[in-house]
Amino acid sequence: MKLELIKKVQPEGKGKGNILLIHGACMAAWVWENNFIPYFFDQGYNVYAVSLRNHGGSEHTSQLRWTSVLDYVNDIKQVIHEIGKPVFLVGHSMGGFISQHYIKQTTANIKGVVLLCSAPSHGSWSLAGRLLQKAPLQFMISTFGFSWLPIMKNRKLLKSVMFSPDFPDERMPSIASQLQEESFLAFLEMLFWRLPKVKKATVPVMIVGAENDFLVAMRDTIKMASAYGLEPLIIEDASHCFMLEPGWENTADKISYFLSLH
């Protein structure tokens, strides 16, 4: 599988470590490009951001709608093999769910995992209820059309479910234009179909949630962290895509500290 890999690496032998950034649903590697990639490169890391199959500049097939989370896990295996060195996985939303499945299979070459507003290990049933209540028409169209574009491409709705109220409106057209179709099977798997069996992690794990996250409620992040035997970091006044919002540096600093310990 030909996968897009945006990378920024240190001069040979100079890196403090390797970070692999994994995007969420309907996104691609571009979501990390302006903030997290240069930040962690400046911290001394080799930074890689992958676009999963059928996303961004990666190879596209006709099977996107029924692509499994396990297919995405295989993409991560491929990239880690290409990097050829131990990595920290940093997964956002669906990327966090994929990361949980990955470390359930193997922790070889994994130094640690950071789950950012991750789809919870116990399933996303509560999200379906919130979407049905907030946007019943778009939710029904998406469900029966096996497509989340009716929600993702509605700029007003997109902002209300993924960003803070004060996120600049002028930035929404650019972000909405880059969002794309997502696997409906993967959504079902995150809902209930293929949940990772959580046990005490054998690699360091950091769980980060956002106080005002509509897509992954704070209570779900806390419940997931409890299953791992951890205390989550909850970002005050933040929403789902906090890494694109003003103040993202404060959370990046905390993630950098976690990485430095391992």
Q: Distance between the two ends of the chain, CA-based, in angstroms?
A: 31
pLDDT of residue 207: 98
Instruction: For residue range 46-100, list pLDDT tens digits in order.
Output: 999 999 999 999 999 888 989 999 999 999 999 999 999 999 999 999 999 999 9
Below-50 pLDDT ranges, the chain = none
Q: What is the DSSP letter of 190?
A: I
pLDDT at 151: 82
Cα(72)–Cα(58) distance, integer angstroms: 12
Q: In DSSP terms, which residues pair with 91 in a beta bridge? A: 22, 115
Q: Where does residue 42 rank: exposed (0-12), middle (13-18), buried (19+ CB within 10 A)?
A: exposed
DSSP 8-state assignment for residue 232: P
126 by DSSP, 3-state: which?
helix
Kindly list the structural domains of the chain, giving each domain's residue range(s) and its CATH number in brackets, ordered by start.
5-260 (3.40.50.1820)
Q: What is the pLDDT of residue 197?
A: 84
**Dihedral, 224, 17, 21, 191 alpha carbons, nearest 10:** -20
